[in-house]
Structure formats: C-alpha cells, structure tokens
Amino acid sequence: MIKRIERIEKMTLNEVPPKRRKAILVISEHESDRLEYTPGGNELLLSEQVHLLVPSYVTTGDLEEKLDSSGLLEPGSLLIQSPYDTSDYVILNKASSTFVLSKYLHFTTLCGLLGAREVTVEQIEVKTLTGKQIFKGSLDSPYSDGKIEAINRIFEEIRNNIKLQSKFDGGEPDLEKAENHLRQYQLSNDISMKSLIDQRKGKNPIKSRELTLSLSEESKRNLQVITDIKVPVYANLQAQIEQFRKEVYEFTLSIKVEF
C-alpha cells in the first residue's frame, strides 16, 4: 500500500486518466499515511474513480496549477470533476448547483448560436426521493406533488442565478459552431440539444420549439462516485458527504425557444 501512495504522489494530475479522477481528495501526507492503518482506508486507496492528491510546495503540471490558483488544494477538500470539462473541478458543497447552472448556460449559448431570439423557462420541476415540486411562471410559486422538505441551499443558489428569460438579436444559425459547442462540452448525447440543431437545418428550419431539458443527467454520473465512499480521515468532510446524500435533487426545465 505504501508503494501505491508513493506512486500517487509522483504522478501528476495531467498523467491521471480523467475517468480515474472523477473526484479528487486533497489529502495531507500525514493523513495519507494513516489511511493504510485506518478502517475503511484501503477501500479509498483502491478506488478506481477517486484520486488522492498530496499537494506539494511546487505544483506539477497545468491541471494542478489551475486547481492551486483557484484555491482548491486545501487538505480535506473533495473536488468533483465537471461533466462538461474534465479539467474543471468544484468543491463538493458547490458541485450540484454549479453543474446545473452550467448546463443551462450551455443550452442558452447553443440557442444563440442557432439564431434564437428568445428563450423562456416556462416550468421548473425539482424532484427528490420523496416527491417533486413544480414551479410555473415564478420560482416562488410552487405546485407540489408528494412531500418535499424545505427547499435547501442548492435550490436557493439555482433560483438566485437562473434566468427565466434570455433574449438575443436573432439571426441565421451557425450550425458548425453549434455542433462544435456540443462536442467541446460533452453534450452530444443530449437528445433535446442535438435535435434542436437538426431542426435548424435545411430550407425550412423550425421557428419555435417547446422542449424539456434535464439539468442533472450528465452530472449524476460524476456525483454518484462520492455517494458510496467513506472518508475515514477528515470527520467534517464525511459529514458533508452524508449531508450531500440527503440533498440529491434532479432539475428538469420546460422551455420555449423562439427563432
């Protein structure tokens, strides 16, 4: 096990395949040594998707420098990889809301590239294990189905940052840039976004479209990585993970796009 720790310390983040660093646990050298002798430590050491990073005084590689300049290399931090850019990471308690808002911004950017004049969010559905809540017209006017506990900080962050209406000058679609945007941000498998591009092609492109868009589908895969792990060091971090398991929200938008 010591050999594994030594290999982790010497390998730069740039050399670690993205699928093996879906999450990064920033850990001190002292705590990394403790893992070998702590109950549950071996499981974390052998994780195929959680990378243990022992920061050094001198950062090695572009990715580690990027994280360091963002103030993310504090021991005890658990960083989650963005589903849209494998070089972007967000601390655990900001990950859900950041990824949801990123997906929406990518969608509105796509609409702009396709020549949209207006994008309107007509409904937001918030779903948990205990039920769902629907917001129509205003994020302060819920229609409940089932029981949902008091809306938590994740929803508050989204409510404070999402725009219900976006307007553009409109114009001809730039199909090449639109398709490149999906590929660049790993969104080519999103049927709603891909079909919107397809419907703006040809001699009779669509002028208006109502669709549903999941804001959580891509991020679920990365967030799932940490739902089953246990961190036997950094007690506060384990408490954060336990709280995160209770705050798994899925967001779906009903959107109208006018071209």
Q: Where are the domains of the chain?
A: 2-94+220-246, 96-219+249-258
Residue type, 72: L
Angle at 65 between CA 23 and CA 187, to 5 degrees: 50
The answer to whether 104 touches 215, Cβ cutoff 8 Å, is yes
Mean model confidence pLDDT for the chain:
85
pLDDT value of position 218 = 93
Phi, psi of 200 (to 5 degrees): -100, 5
More confident residue, 116 or 46: 116
The answer to whether 255 touches 121, Cβ cutoff 8 Å, is yes
pLDDT value of position 153 = 66
User: Please, what sign has the CA dihedral across residues 224, 255, 166, 209?
Assistant: positive
pLDDT value of position 232 = 86
Residue type, 16: V
If pLDDT is split at 50, 70 and 90, which confidence band does 143 have?
very low
What's the rounded Cα separation, in Å, for the pair 246 and 252?
19
If pLDDT is split at 50, 70 and 90, which confidence band does 17 have?
very high
What pLDDT digit, counting tens, does each position of 228-243 carry?
788 888 888 888 888 8
Name the residue among 12, 98, 21, 97 with its Cα closest to residue 54. Answer: 12
* Average pLDDT value for residue range 221-225: 87
Name the residue among 114, 138, 85, 125 with its Cα closest to residue 207. Answer: 114
If pLDDT is split at 50, 70 and 90, which confidence band does 140 have?
low
What's the rounded Cα separation, in Å, for the pair 225 and 250?
16
What's the rounded Cα separation, in Å, for the pair 201 and 199?
5
What's the rounded Cα separation, in Å, for the pair 5 and 45?
8
Residue type, 37: Y
Tokens at residue 213, please?
A: 């868009």
Report CA Rg, the chain.
21
If pLDDT is split at 50, 70 and 90, which confidence band does 183 have?
very high
Dihedral of the CA atoms 233, 239, 245, 249 (nearest 10)?
A: -130
What's the rounded Cα separation, in Å, for the pair 212 and 125?
10
If pLDDT is split at 50, 70 and 90, which confidence band does 227 have?
confident
3-state secondary structure of 225: helix
pLDDT value of position 4 = 46
User: pTM for this one?
Assistant: 0.86
